[in-house]
Amino acid sequence: MKNAHPSYTLLVFVLLGLLPFLFQDPRALIVLLAINIALIAKLGWERSMIKAYILVGGIGSCFAVITWLPFTNVGTPYWSSTIPLIHYPVQITDVGVLWALGMGLRLANVALLSMYYVFTTSPREIAMGLRGIGVPFSISYLLSLIFRFIPLVKNDLAIIREAQMVRGMSTSEGNVPERIRKYSYLLVPLIFNSLKRVQLIANALDAKGFRMRNSQHRFYRSKRWKKAEVFTLVAGVCIVSALFYIARLHPDHIGVLIPGRI
Amino acid sequence: MDSTFSSRKATKTKTLVINALFIAFTLAATMFINLRLPIMGNGGLIHLGNVPLLIAAFVYGRKTGAIAGAFGMGLFDLISGWTAWAPFTFVIVGAMGYVAGLIAEKVPGNRVFVYALAVAAALVIKIVGYYFVEVILYGNWIQPFGSIPGNVLQVVVAAVIVIPLVGRLKKIVGQG
Amino acid sequence: MSVVIELNDVWYSYEKEKLVLQGVSLQLKQGEFVAIIGGNGSGKTTLAKHCNGLYKPTQGTVKVNGLDTKTMSVAQLSRIVAYCYQNPDHQIFHSTIKAEVAFGPKNMGWPPEKIEQAVAEALAAVGLSDKGDEEPHFSSKGTRQKIAVASILAMKPQVIVLDEPTTGLDYRGMQEMMELVRHLHAEGHTIIVITHDMRLVAEYAQRVIVMHKGKLLCDGDPVHVFSQTQVLAAAQVEAPAIYRFGKAAGIDDPIPLTLTAMKKQVLGEGI
Amino acid sequence: MKTEPLLRVNGVYWHYEEGAQSALADIHLALYPGEVVGVVGPAAAGKTTLLLTMSGLIPANYGGHFVGSVESNGEQGIVFQDPETQFIGLTVEEELAFSLENAGWSDERIEKRMAEVLDLIGLNSFANRSPLELSGGEKQRVAIASALSHSPQVLILDEPTSELDPVGAREVFSLLSRLKREKEMTIVVSSHATEELAAFCDRMILIAEGKIVLDQPTRQFFDQVDVLDEHGILVPDVIRLYHMLCQQGVLSASTAGVPLTVEELALYYKEARLVREGSL
Ligand SMILES: Nc1ncnc2c1ncn2[C@@H]1O[C@H](COP(=O)(O)OP(=O)(O)OP(=O)(O)O)[C@@H](O)[C@H]1O
Ligand SMILES: Nc1ncnc2c1ncn2[C@@H]1O[C@H](COP(=O)(O)OP(=O)(O)OP(=O)(O)O)[C@@H](O)[C@H]1O
Ligand SMILES: [Mg+2]
Ligand SMILES: [Mg+2]
């Protein structure tokens, strides 16, 4: 993907990201996850991403499974009960188990794709990609600035935390309210420092001819669309549409457990 | 050419940079600073993403508040796998920032009271907004109640942190 | 003089491949005034942060007053070794200068009278007694730097580490800051200053440590260190102007490092 | 040299919206092609404000009250104190291309210009590195290159070396000297490091409380030790020593003016010794 048109990469990931929403069945989704993992393994993992993925994607998926489990009223119940007061039935059914697993896998899939895209695409490429599909320059530039700020913010936070540790404060001790109060101690220096930076960055941008509406701006070394890319995209859109038709609109649903649900 | 004039406070570029900064804050606070509690809904995630959102709304006004919320949390949803929520988050949290900022700007009176009012309004938007979104996404009317405690807690925690600081932050911002 | 801080073959790395400290051994004695110099990224800050346990060595030991830093928390160590950050804005967060300075002592769990006294003393030491109720964020950079120093002084540490305390200050601010440090030294504190300003090193330090790529390149009194031309060149530093003048003018060894010493030497030569 | 000025500041007053008093008052100055001007002053004197005004960022980018005018016959490039923060690109190349992209240059022109600029700062092999991974001096050189990439006539630098080690600072000043020598670049630089400015600048400006106190050729400027002391400006040790030695009769005041570098003073000193020894 390194030499691809940035908009192409963006759209490929959007298409891949749509696939998990076509299926509900964990069996279909696990196949999809395997394919995605294989694809990404081929493109090359990043160490830092694996950690983040396990944390965010993993925990998210587990909670998805837990939250969904008791709320499916379709299928044969293994266990059932009612919520007191409102008398709402909760039950664990065979379809419900599959459904919950499917939702967890759906999250795992989408998280994998989106995190991979963000971790391996530079803010500049994201901006170029968005520009290429018609997003205004100011918005695409805003996005690349955000990713420029995040490491600065993280770095500042680490120093501020240390600076408070050396004055005898420990962030790990204390009950929840106390820990919340400690976060507010981080905020003031963080914002004070960042705001100083804001003026400087705005100056640096303006001094280099940056303007919000700049029709003459063009990205250096921007790529041209290749025939193969256009072809792949068109084919991809067709495949996704076909799958949508088969899985969702056709009477003999593939990978759908409960019709009418997303 | 001899000229005498007063120039505007924030240029477009500076506004852009401030917006980017607060989106980054919101995104970073949602991703990196969170307490995970065993409460249902939203993955039991008590993150601090509402803190920068409220600061943006109270200190810089409704526009920055809306942008910080919409982009910051929307991006988080997009990245972290809650992608189906992202378009809704974009609208709901954007509206939270906008309304909180609007109330803080327009309502006169005791500041702490006004901010509390603004937070309450934001909270209502959040609860109602996500309730209906989740009804659609979950396909039932009860399950979405599960995320209400989490949502309330998130906003209340953020308010507890932010409200006492707003006055000072405003002064600091004025200086910078 | 007793040894306060002892580093024994200390190695450290933030990330796997890149070694930031590579076998540093060093003893700092009670009452010394030490300057750490070296190029950007040579490991000065990392070294200093080992002295108060903020970083623990990946290999080797750091002992403070004979105790291994691995067995102590940063909070415990910060009563002995205080570290003052390069940028005061990273640590100031209270709404009054007094509250800011009282933060450290409060964390120590001292009784209120003791805290009040410590704060008053610390503010007096940096000359901000009458500004206790002001908002720290609105004061000048020089004052903010002093607030940062006061806020660690209030914890009554034995050793004070100052990371580039004069960066961004004008000449007056710099002199005030260094006179404050000299005063603290005279009161018995052990001082470690990290700086890029060789004039200050020549003027104030008793002992100079030269760092380069995570290694201790040279350690000795300023006259000795600044005569090591090759070491200095390797470590990305250069001797103060007065010394370079002495060298270029062919003044006899030992070449003085400060204006006053040079004046004495030249006049004593009695041309 | 006395052709048309590149930049002229005519009676500028400037009051920041939030400021307690005017940050600049009655500033008049003209900058001629090829001049290298140093700006010194105590903290909060208005150095940064003056440079921002010369670059046009004040009043365009700040709120406040502006009187007077700044006439410029060309573009300015500006470099700020903290190199980390001012980087916009994630690689050196992106950083250098940014202003050219904004101007809508073609790939070939950008490529050519970038090669030139990289050559100028001597960091040819760094094009694809992240500017954040470089050493302090290299970072600041990249920042300078980035300000130079759209070929401005005037280069303005605000405390470019305050966070650098002595060698990094030297790298930056030797780059500036090259620009002065080879490109006849017009440069304005503020700093607290008067020793470096003395060796480098043709002309010095002392600003205090928003007003220009001194604006003179460097040698004359540093001869006014009393004025500099009064405003808390560090008089370089070389110049102090020179005055001391003159007072004590070790040196006789030179007709060429105060020495500005270690080498100059050493030369004076050696000459004086020869004269002494010869006369004995
Ligand atoms: N938090 C960190 N994570 C990763 N690497 C780091 C971190 N802090 C410092 N380093 C690296 O460690 C090395 C030594 O850094 P250190 O800050 O100790 O240098 P220094 O001598 O204090 O430099 P300076 O004069 O610029 O302050 C550098 O190469 C730096 O890039
Ligand atoms: N954005 C701003 N808003 C309001 N006042 C400002 C702003 N920037 C600077 N000032 C004030 O204008 C005056 C001149 O400041 P300036 O930054 O130009 O000084 P300086 O000479 O560059 O100082 P330093 O040596 O600290 O860099 C100061 O009194 C300062 O407080
Ligand atoms: Mg350091
Ligand atoms: Mg300045």
Strands C190-194 and C33-38, by their bridges, are parallel
Q: What's the mean pLDDT when you consider all of chain D? A: 89
**Closest Cα in chain D to C41:** D135
Q: Is the dihedral of CA B10, B12, B17, B18 positive or negative?
A: positive
Contact predicate B16/A145, CB 8 Å: yes
Interface confidence, given as ipTM, is 0.87
Residue C4: per-residue pLDDT: 92
- D75 vs B7, higher pLDDT: D75
Q: Which residues of A touch D57 (CB under 8 A)?
A: 203, 206-207
At residue B34, the pLDDT reads: 61
Identify the band that residue D83 occupies on the pLDDT scale cut at 50, 70 and 90: confident
Considering only CA atoms, which of A26, A20, A103 is closest in space to residue A65? A103
User: Which residues partner with C219 through β-bridges?
Assistant: C209
Q: Is the CB of residue C138 less than 8 Å away from at least one CB of chain B?
A: yes
- Chain B, 141 to 170: residues with Cβ < 8 Å from chain C are 168
Answer whether B6 sits within 8 Å of D63, measured CB to CB: yes
Q: For residue C44, give both structure tokens.
A: 């000065």
Distance CA D170, CA D261 (A): 14
Residues 6+ apart with CB under 8 A from B50: B154, B155, B157, B158, B159
Tell me which residue has tokens 């100056």: A203
**Distance between terminal CA atoms of chain A?**
31
Do C29 and C76 belong together in one domain? yes
Q: Predicted confidence band at C48 (pLDDT cuts at 50, 70, 90)?
A: very high
Alpha helix (H) residue ranges in chain D: 47-55, 57-60, 83-86, 92-102, 107-121, 136-148, 166-183, 194-200, 218-223, 225-230, 237-247, 262-279
Whether C170 and C253 map to the same domain: the answer is no
**Biggest alpha carbon–alpha carbon distance for chain C:** 64
Provide Rg for chain D, Cα atoms: 20
- Structure token pair of residue C32: 């010394």
Residue C97 near residue C128, CB atoms below 8 Å: yes
pLDDT tens-place string over residues D88-147: 888 899 889 988 988 888 889 999 999 999 988 888 888 888 888 888 888 898 999 999
CA of A156 to the centre of ligand 4 (A): 22
Q: Rounded distance, CA C119 to CA C115, Å?
A: 6
Mean pLDDT of A162-178: 76
Averaged pLDDT, D56-66: 87
pLDDT digits (tens, 9 = 90+) for D5-56: 999 999 999 998 888 889 999 999 999 999 999 999 998 899 999 999 999 9
Query: Residues C197, C249: one domain?
Result: no
State the virtual CA torsion across A58, A62, A65, A68 in degrees, nearest 10: -110
Determine the atom of ligand 1 nearest the C-alpha atom of C49. 18
- Among A45-49, C125-129, C140-144, C221-225, top mean pLDDT goes to C221-225
Per the CB < 8 A criterion, the answer to whether C13 and C58 are in contact is yes
Are C98 and C11 contained in the same domain?
Answer: yes
Measured by CA distance, the residue closest to atom 6 of ligand 1 is: C14
Measured by CA distance, the residue closest to atom 31 of ligand 2 is D44
CB D179 within 8 A of CB D187: yes
Q: In whole angstroms, what is the distance from residue D237 CA to residue D261 CA?
A: 10
pLDDT score for B41:
46
For residues D191 and D193, give the distance between their C-alpha atoms in angstroms, rounded to a whole number.
5
Backbone angles phi, psi at A89, to 5 degrees: -75, 135
Mean pLDDT of chain C: 90
Are residues C31 and C163 part of one domain? yes
What does the pLDDT average to over B44-66?
87
A179 band by pLDDT with thresholds 50, 70 and 90: confident
Question: What's the rounded mean pLDDT across residues C62-88?
Answer: 90
- Does the pTM surpass 0.90? The reply is no
Which pLDDT does position C194 carry in this prediction? 95
Looking at the structure, do residues C143 and C265 belong to the same domain, yes or no? no
Is-contact A102 A74, C-beta < 8 A? no
Q: For residue B20, give how far its alpha carbon lies from the nearest alpha carbon of chain D (Å).
A: 13
Pocket test of ligand 2: the residue of D47, D80, D188, D205 to mutate, having most ligand atoms within 8 Å of its CB, is D47
- Number of Cβ within 10 Å of residue A28's Cβ equals 20
My answer on whether C85 and C15 are in the same domain is yes
**What's the Cα-to-Cα distance from D4 to each of A24, D32, D35, D265, rounded to whole Å?**
76, 7, 12, 35
Residue B5: per-residue pLDDT? 64
Rounded-to-integer distance, Cα D236 and Cα D162, Å:
16
Whether residue C271 is found in the same domain as residue C222: no
* Residues D151, D154, D155, D157, CA torsion sign: negative
Q: What tens digit of pLDDT does each residue of A10-25 get?
A: 999 999 998 988 888 8
**The pLDDT value given to residue B40:** 45
The answer to whether residues C248 and C234 belong to one domain is: no
Number of domains in chain C: 2
Predicted local confidence at residue C8, as pLDDT = 94
Q: How far is CA B79 from the centre of its chain?
A: 18
C-alpha pair distances (Å), D138 with each of C195, D142, D163: 19, 6, 12
Query: How far apart are the C-alpha atoms of A71 and B146, rounded to whole Å?
Result: 11
- What Å distances lie between residue D108 and A219, A221, C121, D94, CA to CA? 12, 9, 66, 15
Determine the pLDDT at residue B38: 43
Q: What number of helices (H) and strands (E) belong to chain D?
A: 12, 9
Q: Residue B39: pLDDT above 50?
A: no
Residue nearest to atom 5 of ligand 2 (CA): D19
Q: How far is the CA of D91 from the centre of ligand 1 (A)?
A: 20
pLDDT in tens, C177-215: 899 999 999 999 999 999 999 999 999 999 999 999 999
Q: What percent of chain A has pLDDT over 90?
A: 11
> Residue C11: what pLDDT?
95
Q: What is the CATH number of the domain that holds C231?
A: 3.40.50.300
What chains are in contact with D, requiring at least 3 Cβ pairs below 8 Å? A, B, C
C141 and C254, same structural domain?
Answer: no
Contact A206 B13 (CB under 8 A): yes
Residue C72 pLDDT more than 70? yes
Q: Strands D36-40 and D186-190, how do they pair?
A: parallel
Q: Are residues C259 and C148 in the same domain?
A: no
- For residues D205-230, one letter each, b for 16 or more C-beta atoms within 10 angstroms of the residue's C-beta and e for the rest, the string is bbbbbbebbbbeebbebbbbeeebee
In one-letter notation, the amino acid at residue C131 is K
C174 and C58, same structural domain? yes
What is the residue with the minimal CA distance to atom 16 of ligand 1?
C43
In this structure, the residues whose C-beta lies within 6 A of any atom of ligand 2 are C 141, 170; D 16, 18-19, 23, 41, 43-49
Predicted local distance difference test score (pLDDT) of residue A249: 76
More confident: C43 or D273: C43
Closest residue in B to C139 (Cα) is B175
* Average pLDDT across chain A, whole number: 83
* Range of the structural domain that residue C200 is part of: 3-239
Query: Is D80–A122 a contact, with Cβ atoms under 8 angstroms apart?
Result: no
